[in-house]
A and B are shown apart, each in its own frame.
Chain A
Amino acid sequence: MTAVIEVQNLTKRYKDTRALDNISLSLEGGAIYGLLGRNGAGKTTLMSILTAQNFESSGTVRVFGEHPYENSRVLNRVCFVREGQKYPDDAYPRHAFAAARLFFENWDQDLADELIAEFQLPMKQTIKKLSRGQLSAVGVIIGLASRADLTFFDEPYLGLDAVARQIFYDRLLADYAEHPRTIVLSSHLIDEVSNLIEKVIVIDSGRIILNEDTDAVRDRAVTVVGDAEAVDAWASGREILHRETLGRVASVTVLGALSAAERAEVTASGLDLTPVSLQQLVVRLTQKAEAADRASTAKEGVL
């Protein structure tokens, strides 16, 4: 089976910065992917290039086996509503949905109507007068009801309250279960989406630092808590992502899965094992990558 998204050595340069730096990536499809990273890490740039809204500086891009630029075979199967999407002047929400109905052949009007009611979207105001959250809701409704084979959500929850965000997560899962497809969800609210995403891609400073199954990622690190000396003794020689102390108690997060025997050993020595949340892991991995970056830049500076 060919991958839905296939990217090799993709670089995007803006004047003197690299928004994407030699990225290679392959997405098999048929899953919900979380595209995680800090603001400005390159998430939107990557999605824009994959949907031919923007252009790569170099490298190869394949979506459904072809380059997406001016390619209606590919674009017909893709939906990408940007964060801060613009709409025609004086358009009302119903105009935007009527347009989406024209262009997405799998468009489900009933689903759109249900979502409009659930998000309590005001239909008698022009889109430019909607609040930030209501604007996000318009994008979310287009993304869900279009049922495109490959759907991108770009920080879809901005301005949405907790209830509306939960509606989005629930609706996304339910609809995905009924109509399996490939969904890429960019987010920096990692804890909120961690139960939703099956695969996790972490991007930082234009580079991919993680691309794995979410379950495998959860096992990649553990936190050990207990007497500082005992914890440090146990952790010595391991790759430490993070360490914090409170009085005589230390908590150390180390990279690498533990075998059953190792786990037993930890518990026997009076230390506690706690799982690492996806958010913590992503934060620690990002910090580590950035620290390494700074170290290498500093070295270059000395030379």
Chain B
Amino acid sequence: MRRTLNVIRLQLINRQTFVWVPLIILGSATVLSVLIYAMIPGDGPKYGGGGQAPLWYFFAIGISAMTLTFPFSQAMSITRRDFFVGTMLTAILGSAFLAALFLLGGGIEVATNGYGVNGYMFYLPWLWEAGPLGAFVVYFTLALFLFVLGFTGATIYKSWGPTAVTIVGVGLSLVLVGLVFLVTRLELWVQVGLTMGDLGALGLALWGLAIVVLLGAVSFFAFRRATP
């Protein structure tokens, strides 16, 4: 247990990675978005996707946690299990931190009437319809999902090479296309739309969380045989 907690400290030793860089990305995205909103004519509320910028950064640190921090952890004589659990706990903490920032951003947008220009990048009505807690879960899930996706992809790449990553990627795409085909063939799109609407952002996020857990389990088994 102590070693697992030490892995969290190891991941956070350079606070730049999990704290300052996301803050810088988020800050710059906000400034850029506000400038652009201010230039757009019209009085209606303006919505933008600038808030997703730090989410993609989580994909990148998921990759680097596997390709760089893992080999270093081996030199620190850390077992793979301790490293995996500690790293996932760090990702959970990081995602929660990011989700809290999103809530804060949403709060600021509501309080300042969209930075005074009626522009929003955090307070997107569809994401907030289940309240602040719902929005928190949505952002948290997205960040964690991208981290685990990066980590798992890098694990597969390191263990079985680029061909395996391509095969898995193409395989997953085929499954998705197959589902789309089935839904189209059975003329279920109306029902799919209704279900999505019923689930709302929060419901979808909770399903997403289940997928994250599943992906994490797959990742763990692949990771157990990984070499630095």
- Option from A76, A99, A104 in Cβ contact (under 8 Å) with B10: A99
The answer to whether B227 and A85 touch across the interface, beta carbons within 8 angstroms, is no
The answer to whether A54 and B80 touch across the interface, beta carbons within 8 angstroms, is no
Chain A 81-115, CB-CB to B under 8 Å as 1, else 0, gives 11001111111100110111011100000000000
Q: Which residues of A contact B78 (CB under 8 A)?
A: 75, 103
Cα A79 to Cα B109 with chains together (Å): 51
Q: A80-B75, A82-B75, A85-B75 are known contacts. Are A95 and B227 too (CB-CB below 8 A)? A: no
Cα A86 to Cα B77 with chains together (Å): 14
The answer to whether B77 and A51 touch across the interface, beta carbons within 8 angstroms, is yes
Query: Which of chain A's residues 194-226 have a Cβ closer than 8 Å to chain B?
Result: none
Cα A72 to Cα B72 with chains together (Å): 16
The answer to whether B68 and A88 touch across the interface, beta carbons within 8 angstroms, is yes
Kindly state whether residue A148 has any CB partner on chain B within 8 Å: yes
Chain A contact residues, majority secondary structure: loop
Kindly state whether residue B69 has any CB partner on chain A within 8 Å: yes
The answer to whether A148 and B16 touch across the interface, beta carbons within 8 angstroms, is no
Cα A300 to Cα B201 with chains together (Å): 69
**Interface residue count on the B side (C-beta < 8 Å):** 27
Q: A86-B71, A91-B14 are known contacts. Are A54 and B76 too (CB-CB below 8 A)? A: no
Chain B contact residues, majority secondary structure: helix
The answer to whether A72 and B3 touch across the interface, beta carbons within 8 angstroms, is yes
Chain A 284-301, CB-CB to B under 8 Å as 1, else 0, gives 000000000000000000
Tell me the minimal C-beta distance from B204 to chain A in angstroms. 32
Q: Which residues of A contact B10 (CB under 8 A)?
A: 99, 102-103
Q: Which residues of B contact A142 (CB under 8 A)?
A: 75
Cα A233 to Cα B219 with chains together (Å): 69
The answer to whether B77 and A96 touch across the interface, beta carbons within 8 angstroms, is no
Tell me the minimal C-beta distance from B67 to chain A in angstroms. 8
Kindly state whether residue A71 has any CB partner on chain B within 8 Å: yes
Kindly state whether residue B112 has any CB partner on chain A within 8 Å: no
Q: A86-B71, A99-B76, A103-B77 are known contacts. Are A53 and B13 too (CB-CB below 8 A)? A: no
Chain B 76-116, CB-CB to A under 8 Å as 1, else 0, gives 11111110000000000000000000000000000000000
Kindly state whether residue A78 has any CB partner on chain B within 8 Å: yes
Tell me the minimal C-beta distance from B77 to chain A in angstroms. 4
- Option from A80, A88, A90, A95 in Cβ contact (under 8 Å) with B77: A80
Kindly state whether residue B228 has any CB partner on chain A within 8 Å: yes
Kindly state whether residue A55 has any CB partner on chain B within 8 Å: yes
Give 9 closest A-B pairs by Cβ, nearest first: A86-B71, A75-B77, A103-B76, A88-B69, A89-B64, A70-B79, A102-B6, A95-B13, A81-B75
Query: Interface on B for A, CB 8 Å cutoff?
Result: 3, 6, 9-10, 13-14, 16-17, 64, 67-69, 71-72, 74-82, 224-225, 227-228
Query: Interface on A for B, CB 8 Å cutoff?
Result: 48, 51-55, 70-72, 75-76, 78-82, 85-92, 95-96, 98-100, 102-104, 139, 142, 148
What are 11 of the A-B contact pairs (CB < 8 Å)? A48-B227, A70-B224, A72-B82, A80-B75, A82-B71, A82-B228, A87-B68, A88-B64, A98-B13, A103-B10, A139-B75
